Each structure stands twice: as C-alpha cells, then as structure tokens.
Structure 1
Amino acid sequence: MPQHLVTDFTADISRRQLFDPAQKVLLAVSGGVDSIVMAWLFKQAGYRAGIAHCNFQLRGEESERDEALVRQMAATLELPLHVVKFDTNAYVAEHRVSIQVAARELRYQWLEEVRTTGGYAYIATAHHMQDSVETALMNFTKGTGIAGLHGILPKQEQLIRPLLFTEKDRLVAYAAMNNIPFAEDSSNITDKYTRNYFRHQVIPRLQEAFPGAVKNMAATIERMKEAEILYQEAMERHRKRLLFQEGDTWKVPVLKLQKTIPLQTIAWELFRPFGCTSAQTPQVLGLLESESGRYVDTATHRIVRNRQWLLVTPLTSEASPLVVIEPGQAHIHFGGGQLQIREQERGQLAIPTAAEIAWLDAAQVSFPLILRKWKQGDYFYPLGMPKKKKVSRFLIDQKLSMPQKENVWVLESNKRIVWLVGMRVDDRVKITPKTKTILSITFSK
C-alpha cells in the first residue's frame, strides 16, 4: 500500500546497508514520477539529501518544464539543488556517439563532480523493480551470461538504487495520494528504444499471462545474485587451476582444459576477460584439437595453440619502432629490454658462450646500427653455418611459440643482420684469430 511505502523504503535501505543515515546522498532527479517520489521518500524518512538535475536541452519546452518542476520541488522539500544545462548535440558531434550514450556520459561525469565537491557519500538513482526485471530480460536475450541475470545491482561503489524493492505502481499511487506533481518524458512513450519495447510490449504481455510475473522475476533475480557469488567462487578455483601468467602472456594447459566440466561455461568465463565473445568461444575451443600455430584474434588479444598450451597475448596495434644506435652509445632501452655496448681489445679473452652476450668483430661492423623486430623475408648466416637461413625457419627450429617469435629483435649493420638479439650471432661478424677489437653487446630484459 502507498501509505506503507516510507516504512518499506527505510527497511530495505537498512537491510541492504545502502548507506549510513548520517551520510549525505545526492539524488539524481529527472522530473519523472520515479525520481520525484524518491526525493519525497528521502525527505519523509529524514535522510540527508541534495537534488541534482540535468537539462540535456533535447526536448525543447519539455526540458525547460522538467527543470522548473524540479526547482519547485527542491524549494518545497527545502533540499539543496544542483542544476546543469548540457549542449548534448554538440557532445554527440564531437565524440561521435549516440544521444543516449552522450546523455549517460555527461550525466554521470557531472553527478560524480557534484558528489565529490558537495560532500555527498553516494549518488542515488530511481531505478525500481520493473527496471531491474527489464534489464535482466534484455541481458538474457543478448546472452550476457550469469552476470547479466542479476538485474540492476542495488549498490556499485558510490552509486545506489534505493527503489529496487518496489514496483512502479506503488510509486505512482504514492504520488497520487500525496498530490505530488511530476512530469512525463515523451521519449518514454515511444517503442523506438529497446528498453521501452520491453517496458510497453514484453512485460505487459507476461503480466497478462502471469499477473505476478514482475515480483516473481524480481525474486528470481535476488536468488541469481546469491547464485552468482557461488558461481564466481567456483570460477576462481578453475582460474587458479587453468590460468598461469608469464610476463604479459597467459598460459592455459590444453589437456587440463579438455578434461574440464562444464567446458563451454568455464571456457567462456576464462577467455572473456581477454576480449573473447560468446560467438568466439567455440573457435577458441577448436584450438584444443588443432595443430600448433593456429590462433584466434579477439578484440584485444591473440589466443594461439602452441604445443600443449593455449597462449594468450595482447594484440599490438602499433608497428614496432626502429632504434638507431650511434657510435659511443653505451646503454640502449627498447621494447624488448636493454642493451649495453662497449668496445674492448681482443687480447687473450675467452669468447663467452651465453646467448645473451654477442661478441662481434668491430672491424666487420659499421655504425649506425639498427635495432628492430624481425620480419618475414629476413635472413642471416647463423654462427657456425656456412649457408644463409631465413629467420622464420631458424625460429621454428628453436621451437619458439608464436608470441615468443613476435618478440624477437634483430640488430642490423649496413643492411645486414649481425645478431638475432639474445639468440645467435651472424657468422660473418664472428670473432676470429685476426680480430683486434671486439664490439661487446649484452642483452637483458
């Protein structure tokens, strides 16, 4: 009943521990019945609050009417008021986003500014039970997984939704009983937007067949929130068992993943943080039966089969830069690590065998040196081999994974490769009995 709304309102805030009654809450009020009633409930409950209204200047006289209504209500309730006018169309043109995205970004950026500067602990929006059910149904049709089925969360960081406990009908009845004026946004009437279609077409049909549909779905949503906690706890155990990090590469053991049950769900959750969509998950699972070298590119990462592992590495969008090394430079920092360079007399020094150290005959090397990533078509004469060999073939023989191959650098002198950095010196610049001066280069990551 409308007269019990205030009691139910305060009880739900206490049950969910949305905020401390001593804290100030910034109320986002549009002028519609939901947010207007929310402001009245805060006042009736004796909570400390302020009102924030955004005028997006998109609906002409309606926008001005809504602002005037909110100003009058704030005066009636004797609550602090914050109002802003946005040139939303200019924001759309500048950022090339939809009007809905522009309004949301402008709104929440400004609300957060007001919250922090005004000493408010939280921002409250007037989402109610139907809104949460609509969101869950929309997410269900889009296939967002279990995380999308919990509807709208009552609390997320500094954002709270204190009306999720009640249906819209009770808010409208409360406004009518107390003669509270509110505005109706004409954009809420059209079915042009997906949410409005669910609101005006889908949910009313469900309620015709099942009168308690909204309440029943809301109760299910509450259970889904708790089920999600158990689900995430289980997933965390699988992540620890299946996901290993080495630098910026993540490794998943093929055999362990193949034996995992339920495979589809765990694989979806495992690779989703790496930009993998639900449609790409079967492609990734296809790598479990493929040969090495096959891969799937997501929006942000590459997932590649490498022997008994799936390797997940970030996609690099920019071409690797060239590093020019002039005579006298001793320390060079680059994308793959760093080099230390010095010249020294040959003398009786023993040639090092570590792959991270290159000793080159200084007489066979010309500056400037060029440091770059290897590319297809590159070749060199590997130390100890009389014939040239393609770098790509050499890397295959070294049994490097694709991510490892992509991070191999070469050092050039006079347009010829003199060193696969950290791997093999070119035979044409090796130390010989005739060498007098050594160019010593040490690689470290």
Structure 2
Amino acid sequence: MLLQQFQQHLKENFPHLSPANNKFLLAVSGGIDSIVLTDLFYKSGYDFIIAHCNFLLRGEESFRDELFMTTLKEKYNKEVIIQQFNTRQYAEDNKISIQEAARKLRYDWFKAISYQLSAISYTAIAHNADDNIETMLMYLFRGTGIRGLTGMQAYDKERKIIRPLLFATRKQIAAYAEENNLERVEDSSNLTDKYTRNFFRHKIIPLAEEQFENARQNLLGNIQRFKDVATLYEQSIEMHKKKLIEQKSNEIHIPILKLQQTKPPDTVLWEIIKPYNFHAHQLPGIKKLFDADNSSYVQSQTHRIIKDRKHFIIAPLETQEAKHILIEATDKQVKFENGVLMFEKLSAISYQLSAGSNMAQIDESKIKYPLLLRKWKQGDYFYPLGMKKKKKLSRFFIDLKLSATAKENIWLLEMNKKITWVIGYRIDERFKVTPSTQEVLKISFTAAQKS
C-alpha cells in the first residue's frame, strides 16, 4: 500500500524526477525511516547512491551503524559513501549546539557530494509527517514567522533536496518495514528526551493527544493551511516591496513616509531587511531610525540601514560597492568607487595650512560623526569656502564649467545634512579652520587609477 502511495506521490509532486533521467543521493542513517525510503526508491526503479554520516556521538553504536551500511550495499547493489565527523569538536569550535553542528555538517557534506558527482540530481531525505509536526511545533514555541509554521520543504530547489516521505506517518512507515522484513538499526538517543525533538515526540504530542484525539491529523491539516496562508502572505509582501523599494545600483532606497503609511509597517520592514542578514532582535533599533538624526544607522554582518533625510538606504558594508558610506571617528582610510580617503587628526598648534584641491582641512570640533560619503544629487547646496551665502552645487559646477561626465563622478562628505567637502573641489565655509581651532581633521583624496 505504501509503495503505491509513494509512487503516486512522486508522480504528482515531483513529475520532473522520473526514474529514467535521474540519480539520487539517499541520506541513510540506518534507522527505520531511511531504510524504508531506500527500499521504496529501489522498488520504484530509481538509481541512487547511499550516503551515511557517522557523527561519532554514540560510541560503538555509531560504528555498528556504519558497519550496517555494508549489508545495504550487498542487498541493493548500490554504492555506499560514508563520512565520519568530529561533531563535538566542530560544535565547540563554532559555539553551537551538537544538534546544530550535526545538521550543518550533514547538509554541507551532501552539497559537496552533489558538486563532486554531477550525475546526482537531488539528495533525498527520509523525514516523515510526524517529523514535520514536531518541526512545526518547535518553530512555534521558539518563535517564528508564517513560513516557519509550514514545516519542512518537500522540495528545496536551491539546495537540491527532496523529502518524498512527508506524506507518510511513522505508523505507516513502521507497518511497511514489518511487512517487508526490513532490517534496520535503532538509535538509542531517540529513546531519551535529551534532544528538543524527542521532548516534543515523547511528551508534548502524547499529552496533546490525551485531550484531542485527532491532534496529529489536525496539526498536519494546519501545516497545509499555513502553507496556503504563507503563499498569500508572500504575494502581499511582494506587492508592498514593489511599491516601496527603489533599486539604485546595489543599494536599496525606501521612502520613510510611504513605509510608515504601510500596514503593517513592522512586518513589511522586516521582510525587506531580512535578506540582508539583519536579525529580528534588531528591529526595535531599526524602528528608532524613523526619528533619528540623519546618517544614523543599524548594521548587520554585510549591510547597513542608513537614515538619509526622507529615505532608508540599505547599503553594503564593502565600501567600494556602496554608494552611501558611513565614516566613523576611528576610520583612518576609506576606499570607495572614486578612490581612497585618508583621515588624520592633528594638533592645530603646529599645523600649517596648505593648498590643494585633493585635500580638506577641517575644524575637528565642528564634526559630529558619522560622516556620510555619497554622490552629489540635484538640490544639494553648501557654503563654498570664502562665501557667506549658500550655493547650489548645480550652479557651482556650472561656474566651474564642468562637463556632464565630470559632474556624474563627484562625491561629497556630509554631516547631518550639511555638506562638509565637495571632494576634489572645495570645503564648506562652516567647517574651516580658524584661529580658535585646536584640532585639525586632514582628509586627503587619492583618485582611483582608470583602466
């Protein structure tokens, strides 16, 4: 019965994975689920290689499981690949749990095999319906968005992983194993509540079933409904993104007022920033940017969200890629598209002012960090050194008789909406060195070599 259901399930849900044109990597622990998966693949006419991970966590039992793989090689006449991992050491080195370490080592290895063996179409993993329920509940208690409530992905195209047993319950799998006299090994750690999944498997779900007879079926039904809700949710988020996001080179610009008027703003903001390695716990700090000073920011491992007047700008930390770059008081050198800026703080007592268009000499006491390095734009104005009235940059460039190409490549330093230096041309009068200056900020510009 399960064999027919399995074949029908593959036909309906994975129609592109025919036996004739595909070869699979089967993740096999030796437990009942993966043994049944192997037998189902074999009897359905699929070609495959067996991959077994020995995490070296259960002493002799781990090596017993590894030895058991030889029986599968003989039974199915298929290649078996075995890899040992020092999981405890890896967990310690990376400051993660044993469970997380094993998961990462496992999936990284599967990915490596897929790259090495081009014949492999997908890696098949034997997660079942009960596993999916446990996963959904763990996400629910841990805290998750709507996608976390949909459980595991049956088809992960990006990682080339399929989970073709998600339709089958643990009882169905056990019945198939008994009917077909399938030998397998038992993992003793599955009998304890040491791991989070086992706690849900042995305690939480059985307690729920005492109160709700159809708890498992209801939870499986909820997972499917959550998938439908997630689809609608993602469609709505994409509509909001199209209205809000302005892509400029490799930066994202978001109008603050339009974002604040979006309903619900927190959720939409989170979905926009999530791909740039921001974490949920940073969201309150990011929301404070609504009322923060210009050039205030929040940073992830790869990007910054910068408040720039009426916009949030998501810019990469790699400054040579960014169009908006923040400069802190401690920065000595900043590389950007047009070249390199060098920053040096000097005592005004012994400092001698010197001329040069590629050098700015500024009163450090008048600077409030961070400075913003960006390209000029229409509407920008400053007070050119020696002048008491403001002047639009567009008029300043006309007076200099700059070509359209030259104007396109002009960058400037800004401090809280005040232009400090039009790089390579002139500083702002408000930041000049005076007889009362105690410390000078010397900024030198070296233009990038044109290829």
Normalised to the residue count of structure 2, the TM-score between the two structures is 0.71
Q: Which residue of structure 1 aligns with residue 336 of structure 2?
A: 336
Q: Which residue of structure 2 aligns with residue 178 of structure 1?
A: 180
Say whether 1:198 aligns with 2:200.
yes
Give 1:213's match in structure 2, choosing from 211, 215, 223. Answer: 215
Query: 2-side partners of 1:32 and 1:232: how far apart?
Result: 37
Q: Which residue of structure 2 aligns with residue 271 of structure 1?
A: 273
Q: Secondary structure at the match of 2:120?
A: coil
User: After the TM superposition, which of the residue ranges 8-17 and 206-215 deviates more from structure 2?
Assistant: 206-215
Say whether 1:189 aligns with 2:191.
yes
Contact 2:128 2:170 in 1 (8 A): yes
The structural deviation recorded for 1:7 is 0.8
Q: Secondary structure at the match of 2:281?
A: coil
Structural mapping, 1:8-407, within 5 Å: 8-17=5-14, 19-22=17-20, 23-89=22-88, 91-92=90-91, 97-115=96-114, 116-117=116-117, 119-157=119-157, 158-315=160-317, 322=333, 335-338=335-338, 371-373=341-343, 389-390=362-363, 393=366, 402=372, 404=374
Q: Compared with structure 1, are the counterparts of its residues 240 and 422 closer, same or farther at alpha carbon in structure 2 (3 Å cutoff)?
A: farther
Q: Compared with structure 1, are the counterparts of its residues 392 and 221 closer, same or farther at alpha carbon in structure 2 (3 Å cutoff)?
A: farther
Query: 1-side partners of 2:6 and 2:347: how far apart?
Result: 71
| Deviation by residue 1:279-328 (Cα, 9 ceiling, x = unmatched) | 33233233324453544344543333332222333446997565xxxxxx
The structural deviation recorded for 1:213 is 2.0
Aligned amino acid, residue 41 of structure 2: F
Aligned amino acid, residue 234 of structure 1: S
Q: Compared with structure 1, are the counterparts of its residues 156 and 402 closer, same or farther at alpha carbon in structure 2 (3 Å cutoff)?
A: same
Tell me the percent identity: 37
Q: Which residue of structure 1 aligns with residue 440 of structure 2?
A: none
Q: Secondary structure at the match of 1:62?
A: helix
| Deviation by residue 1:43-71 (Cα, 9 ceiling, x = unmatched) | 22222222222222321221122122232
Q: Secondary structure at the match of 2:82?
A: strand
User: After the TM superposition, which of the residue ranges 51-60 and 145-154 deviates more from structure 2?
Assistant: 51-60
Contact 1:191 1:200 in 2 (8 A): yes
Query: 1-side partners of 2:447 and 2:92: how far apart?
Result: 52
| Deviation by residue 1:380-436 (Cα, 9 ceiling, x = unmatched) | 79999xxx852674799xxx974649x9679xxxxxxxx8634526999xxxxxxxx
| Deviation by residue 1:95-151 (Cα, 9 ceiling, x = unmatched) | 555433443333233333444427221111100011112112222222221121221
Aligned amino acid, residue 261 of structure 2: K
Q: CA RMSD in A?
A: 3.9
Query: 2-side partners of 1:33 and 1:133: how far apart?
Result: 18
Unmatched segments (≥5 aa) in structure 2: 320-327, 376-410, 415-420, 433-444
| Deviation by residue 1:187-221 (Cα, 9 ceiling, x = unmatched) | 22222222221222222222222232222222222
The structural deviation recorded for 1:246 is 3.2
Q: Compared with structure 1, are the counterparts of its residues 375 and 13 closer, same or farther at alpha carbon in structure 2 (3 Å cutoff)?
A: farther
Query: 1-side partners of 2:36 and 2:317: how far apart?
Result: 49
Contact 2:341 2:446 in 1 (8 A): no
Query: 1-side partners of 2:131 and 2:251: how far apart?
Result: 40
Contact 2:149 2:226 in 1 (8 A): yes
Q: Secondary structure at the match of 2:193?
A: coil
Q: Secondary structure at the match of 2:130?
A: helix
The structural deviation recorded for 1:34 is 0.6
Q: Which residue of structure 2 aligns with residue 350 of structure 1?
A: none
Q: Compared with structure 1, are the counterparts of its residues 443 and 394 closer, same or farther at alpha carbon in structure 2 (3 Å cutoff)?
A: farther
Query: 1-side partners of 2:347 and 2:213: how far apart?
Result: 70
Q: Compared with structure 1, are the counterparts of its residues 383 and 220 closer, same or farther at alpha carbon in structure 2 (3 Å cutoff)?
A: same
The structural deviation recorded for 1:169 is 1.1
Query: 1-side partners of 2:273 and 2:257: how far apart?
Result: 16
Contact 1:26 1:50 in 2 (8 A): yes
Unmatched segments (≥5 aa) in structure 1: 323-333, 340-369, 411-418, 429-439
Q: Compared with structure 1, are the counterparts of its residues 70 and 425 closer, same or farther at alpha carbon in structure 2 (3 Å cutoff)?
A: same
Corresponding residue pairs, total: 376
Q: Secondary structure at the match of 1:276?
A: coil
Query: 1-side partners of 2:246 and 2:71: how far apart?
Result: 59
Q: Compared with structure 1, are the counterparts of its residues 51 and 371 closer, same or farther at alpha carbon in structure 2 (3 Å cutoff)?
A: closer
Query: 2-side partners of 1:441 and 1:95: how far apart?
Result: 40
Q: Secondary structure at the match of 2:26?
A: strand
